Structure 1
Amino acid sequence: MIVYLAVSLTVLAQSARQQTTSTGKKISPTLFGLFFEDINYAADGGLYAEMIQNRSFEYSPADRREWHSLTSWEYITPVFSYGSLNVETNKPIHPNNPHYAVLTIEHVGQPGVGENSKIPENKGVPGVGIKNRGYDHMVVKAGEKYAFSLFACQLSATPVALTVSLQDPRGKILSESKLTVNSKDWNKYTATLTASERSDSTSLVILGTTQGKVGIDIVSLFPENTFKNRQNGLRADLAQLLADMKPAFIRFPGGCLAHGDGLGNMYRWKNTIGPIEQRVEQRNIWGYHQTAGLGYYEYFQFCEDIGAKPLPVLPAAVSCQNSGGTWRIGGTGQKAIPMDEMKDYIQEVLDLIEWANGSVSSTWGAKRAAAGHPKPFNLEFVGIGNEDKITPEFEERFKLIYDAVKAKHPEITVIGTVGPFPDGEDFTKGWKYANNLTVPMVDEHYYQQPDWFVRNQYRYDAYDRKQSHVYLGEYASWGNKLKNAISEAIYMTALERNGDVVDMASYAPLLAKKNHTQWKTDMIFFDNEKVCLTPNYYVQKLFTANQGDYYYDKIVSKNSKDSTLAASCVKDSKTGDIILKLVNGGTASQSMKIDLSAFKKLASQAEQVVIAGSAEAENTLENPQAIAPVQSKIKVSKSFQYNAPAMSLTVIRIKTQS
């Protein structure tokens, strides 16, 4: 029997600013979205579907001390062939891509001939070449097609024949194609490789099989089955998981990645568009290499593909305060672009808006069109800065950028920053500065223990609605157990309640690759084949996929003495659906009373999704289903009671009858 706790019943939120139950309070329709940063190998080796590591021979000790131009490549001379492999820079395909491999084939052996015929090394395809195992080895599947390409130029008097193959660890050829490099100019050569069988430790092998000398660059291998079958596209399974969340927006490319480790490491958007061979690769602030293959064009395209608004974040003309290895000593490494360079930098920001929204007759709109997208991307938001230390140098440069964007593009909402913590010096100074400038929205960040989110669920109730609004750009509790996710769910009901001042929110970080995780808490873990959806992912998905644009007060009642109980009620005005989110972060089931008398023509049966389990439960790549949502139907009426399981989130979606 369900017993309703009649003692100390309260409504979920008490605020003089909220409207009456019958009309609802209009809240942000873009409240819940995603934040993507290339941390934990989230891009190269992750969401970006390129399978070759160091495809352009641009790795260097600047990325990682032990790395060099041939990292991830192996020089091979099967069947007693011989020659040489070098890396050169004197005739690059483009100045932005200076390194390339030079393969010299002096002698091509003959398999199974003479006295060496019984030696194992004297079997297989002879030649001089290179082998790449990708990011922690490549997985290929039987019958699936893979798009191979490389740029090459003939450096000898005669053409050079190449054999390209996929091979398993024993050297068995799973697919093979032949090419001939016969031009002194850099040209692109392509082939389709179809795997004959599955292998989870595949290598790509390129062999020169005739005498000669050849330059090789930008060696690429993509599954043909990318998300939406896009060329230079995204890994289909990971991208689909994000699309399934139905996020209102995506913030990219960071994070600390955006303002970088020093001025020379800032993420400059112009370096990440255009042909792959012309993009600028560089060291990643998180300690590895980024190819810029997943660049601004791909970010915007992905947003469009899944119906999310793009939210690019540009540096505020200062580098990360933790630049130069100052993470442990309080962050004193912030550097500022010289003032005599600010005019050009401001133009770079304005050019981005023109690139995204300009007509095909504009300078930068024409570049977007040339890349294959003549229609504007309909950019509405631009973030300026990320967790920056609020110094005089920051304030001076931010104001210059903000004023310029506001003057030329008043239709663009500029989002400022108030440091990396929920309080403290930078938070206080950042908020004061933003309000003085009347910045429309500022970006708050914080990572805290689960109980912090429970204690602070009323944080935004007292925020001044007449001042800058909030974008909660990065937040998470420290951990991926169910108790972490439920604490976040409690907090997210409060974000809905305050959706008139909190305009946007996104969990962080998003992706983490096995054996390459640099952050304690993430939403999705993965390897080259499998994914692990955390309880945090399921909570985020239930909120992002069930967003509303009106919040209703006095719908759900609960025991006011229990801070682990929370709920919200929103309406999706596009569908007419009423959406209840009921959270119980306690150790025992609890009853809540739902009063839907304010709504008309409600269906008597609703969709219900429940996430529940042990507080310490978590999913892993080895056991990815320890926690999973359970879908069912539930009967509803104008007034009913719901018994929320211990440690649970329940979402009830009720349709209105036509």
Structure 2
Amino acid sequence: MKFRLISCSLALSALLSVHAQQVMDVNTKKMGASVSPTMYGLFFEDINYAADGGLYAELVKNRSFEFPNRLTGWDISGKVTVMNDGPFDKNPHYVRLAPSGHSDKHTMIENHGFFGIGVKAGEEYRFSVWARVVEGGSAKLYIDLVDNATMSDDQKIGSGSVDVSGKEWKKYTTVIKAKKSFAKAHLRVWGSNKATTDIEHVSLFPVKTYKGRENGLRQDLAQALEDVHPGVFRFPGGCIVEGTDLATRYQWKNTVGPVENRPLNENRWHYTFTHRYFPDYFQTYGLGFFEFFQLCEDIKAEPLPVLSVGLACQFQNRKESDHAAMDELKPFIDDCLDLIEFANGPVDSKWGKLRADMGHPEPFNMKYIGIGNEQWDAPYFERLKPFVAAVRAKYPNIKIVGTSGPDSEGKMFDKGWVAMKEQKADLVDEHFYRPEAWFLGTGDRKKWPNCGALRYDSYDRKGPKVFAGEYACHGAGKKWNHYETSLYEAAFMTGIERNADIVEMATYAPLFAHVEGWQWRPDMIWYDNTRMFKSVSYYVQQMYAMNKGTNVLKLTTKDPADPKGKKAIPVAGQDGLNGLFASSVYDKTTGEVIIKVVNTSKEAQPVSINLLDMTGERTAETLTLQHSGSMDDENTLSNPNKIVPVSSTVNCTTTGKKKQTVLNDNLPAMSFRLYKVKK
């Protein structure tokens, strides 16, 4: 993680601020609750072209001709016929390229990619295709990457060819080197003018994928995930787990095995929002459960798969007949048990063998499973019971994640928590997309009784742990990744950290968005076909994840409402604290005290942090996130580093006869600053 260094003096006089100095005490001697290694993580859902067209590095859309309109994404010329008796039973369609009968008439198919095909000058791209010569013998396929918008004499950015032979289906590959960078290229495949050729599963990947895998991930996007240093990775959703109906729910068994034979699935997000409508948005399952587990291993995050509980999306399906009946749940329960075997089972088990055959004989050591995404009330509670019983009986060490539904409070939320306690779920998945007042804790307490950084202070410590599985601050009238909402997320997260005894994991949502294909925002990472940028929310998450420590340290200030000044309270934006939020942890691995302070005030604020049980002068490393202009500022493709954390230092002084260490600083208005001090 690299940040640009600045040379500046942080010893600004407190007199410059309109606020009185806020004094905080950090108990550095007594270790508090352990911070779970999974505390800060990532949540992936295939929305906003997050998989195909995003993290999954395949550049060809509708590569197996299985979209309902078999030639979606393709232009054709000459004698092109769609066939349906191909070599892969779950993807039976392919195209037949027949000679046109004239030397100057070419049979060709041309793919548009996902909003174009992004290529970079000097980079190599691996083309592959399954093909055969219908009558036997040999034929040649010509492959071009082209720029249809060019005014030059030659549209070709790069070219290659493959020699096809025989009547049997075989896989052929060639590598094409791009001569220039272009975000909107197309891929052309020319048929032979001498023989009829069948082609199936037409594919193009960058050679440089993440970890260099052929069925791999886009390098820059996957690296951005690794750079967060996440503790947990939740996948594959989200609402796609439920499906708009049960027929289109995400089914993990369709996403494993040979990539050529993973069936297409409808993506429920392609028609959900009519104001952002993408009718050609499907799931090829090229990025499937094996690849998800592999990614978790690569980025050192605990995998948290979420499976269907037999309920389709309850928002869109109000009749009982829309869902699996209680006596129809066995296949759904088997999916859970079989997934655990796929992830952890020995190589001589049915699903463990498939994992080994895919190249990973060692178990993935999965520890968590989510059952149901965002369901609520009796239909969910009743169906969950047999799942819990089956998993507990066969895999008692697996932690089960239930859900409290789609709301952060209210009748159904309360019922969800009661039911999860009764069923002894290990964690409860909470979701909250809320405005600024909710995250700051300044909203209507009747409407939002548990909001802001104090949310988890009053939670029952004897029940399940909390998984804040989907959350983001949605600005009122400003629903995009601007700086202000990211700052309020940082403020809220001080409460997550302070309550590490009850909160085991938290993940911002959604994760990815293509700038031309988004349906939901704000999102954590944005990209086009060749570039990407990290939102300010990304850097907030990264600052927490890379500095989560191992134990909570108690951080308090005097209650402004206590005239005698004897009562200590958390620094959590309460009345009289002038919009300050703070939390502190200790990291046993580095010997550092780590303090996070968020100033949500419009004025700079002087703070004095007493590091109790520490003596002597020291130097604190700092990391600061602040805007340079407007609170609406955001990072963009053209200016990806407009707002990034900046590192510096501040000197700690001493006070009193015991020379107690004190950190004095002046926090900029509307800023998030992190301090690290060696103990």
The normalised TM-score by structure 2 is: 0.86
Equivalent residue in structure 2 for 1:191, among 152, 162, 174? 174
Contact 1:100 1:216 in 2 (8 A): yes
CA shift, 1:615, in A, is 2.0
Answer yes or no: is 1:365 the counterpart of 2:341: no
Answer yes or no: is 1:292 the counterpart of 2:285: yes
Answer yes or no: is 1:434 the counterpart of 2:417: no
SS of residue in 1 equivalent to 2:216: coil
CA shift, 1:154, in A, is 2.2
Contact 2:405 2:413 in 1 (8 A): yes
2:465 corresponds to = 469
Contact 2:23 2:608 in 1 (8 A): no
Answer yes or no: is 1:161 the counterpart of 2:133: no
CA shift, 1:27, in A, is 2.9
CA shift, 1:11, in A, is 5.4
2:185 corresponds to = 202
SS of residue in 2 equivalent to 1:586: coil
Work out the CA distance in 2 between the residues paired with 1:199 and 1:486: 36
Q: What do residues 618-652 of structure 1 show as CA deviations (whole Å, max 9, x unaligned)?
A: 22333333322212233235212121111111112
Q: Which amino acid aligns with 2:239?
A: C
Contact 1:556 1:568 in 2 (8 A): no
Equivalent residue in structure 2 for 1:26, among 20, 26, 34? 34
2:237 corresponds to = 254
Work out the CA distance in 2 between the residues paired with 1:411 and 1:563: 46
Equivalent residue in structure 2 for 1:217, among 193, 200, 205? 200
2:673 corresponds to = 650
Distance 1:312 1:47, change over 3 A: same
1:622 corresponds to = 638
2:513 corresponds to = 512
Distance 1:299 1:563, change over 3 A: farther
Of 158-167 and 140-149, more deviation after overlay is shown by 158-167
Work out the CA distance in 1 between the residues paired with 2:57 and 2:233: 19
Answer yes or no: is 1:338 the counterpart of 2:353: no
Contact 2:622 2:673 in 1 (8 A): no
Contact 2:427 2:465 in 1 (8 A): yes
RMSD between aligned residues: 2.3
Q: Which amino acid aligns with 2:185?
A: T
Of 194-203 and 249-258, more deviation after overlay is shown by 194-203
Equivalent residue in structure 2 for 1:321, among 307, 310, 314? 314
Residue correspondence of structure 1 range 61-80 to structure 2 within 5 A: 68-76=69-77
SS of residue in 2 equivalent to 1:395: helix
CA shift, 1:175, in A, is 2.3
1:606 corresponds to = 621
Residue correspondence of structure 1 range 166-185 to structure 2 within 5 A: 166-169=145-148, 170=150, 171-185=154-168
CA shift, 1:357, in A, is 0.8
Work out the CA distance in 2 between the residues paired with 1:258 and 1:166: 36
Q: Which amino acid aligns with 2:259?
A: I
Q: Which amino acid aligns with 1:22?
A: K
Higher RCO structure (Cα 8 Å, ≥6 apart):
2
CA shift, 1:185, in A, is 2.2
CA shift, 1:198, in A, is 2.5
Contact 2:404 2:416 in 1 (8 A): yes
CA shift, 1:603, in A, is 5.5
1:581 corresponds to = 596
Distance 1:351 1:430, change over 3 A: same
SS of residue in 2 equivalent to 1:654: strand
Residue correspondence of structure 1 range 51-200 to structure 2 within 5 A: 51-60=59-68, 68-76=69-77, 83-89=78-84, 91-110=85-104, 127-169=106-148, 170=150, 171-200=154-183
Contact 1:151 1:186 in 2 (8 A): yes
Give the number of equivalent residue pairs.
615
Contact 2:25 2:611 in 1 (8 A): no
Equivalent residue in structure 1 for 2:584, among 569, 575, 581? 569
Residue correspondence of structure 1 range 295-314 to structure 2 within 5 A: 295-314=288-307
Contact 1:260 1:323 in 2 (8 A): no
Q: Which amino acid aligns with 2:165?
A: N
Q: What do residues 241-299 of structure 1 show as CA deviations (whole Å, max 9, x unaligned)?
A: 11111010110100001111111011111110111112121100101201101110111
Contact 1:482 1:647 in 2 (8 A): no
Sequence identity of aligned pairs in percent? 41
Contact 2:29 2:612 in 1 (8 A): no
Q: Which amino acid aligns with 1:644?
A: L
2:58 corresponds to = 50
2:553 corresponds to = 552
2:446 corresponds to = none
SS of residue in 2 equivalent to 1:598: strand
CA shift, 1:449, in A, is 0.4
Q: What do residues 60-113 of structure 1 show as CA deviations (whole Å, max 9, x unaligned)?
A: 2xxxxxxx110111113xxxxxx4112121x22222112211211133525xxx
SS of residue in 2 equivalent to 1:438: coil
Residue correspondence of structure 1 range 496-511 to structure 2 within 5 A: 496-511=497-512
Distance 1:25 1:389, change over 3 A: closer
Work out the CA distance in 2 between the residues paired with 1:602 and 1:36: 44
CA shift, 1:317, in A, is 1.5
**Structure 2 unaligned blocks of 5 or more:** 1-12, 271-280, 442-450, 559-570, 654-660
Distance 1:220 1:603, change over 3 A: farther
Work out the CA distance in 2 between the residues paired with 1:629 and 1:334: 52
Contact 2:402 2:427 in 1 (8 A): yes
CA shift, 1:477, in A, is 0.7
Of 284-293 and 612-621, more deviation after overlay is shown by 612-621
Distance 1:561 1:607, change over 3 A: closer
The normalised TM-score by structure 1 is: 0.89
CA shift, 1:5, in A, is 9.0
SS of residue in 2 equivalent to 1:540: helix
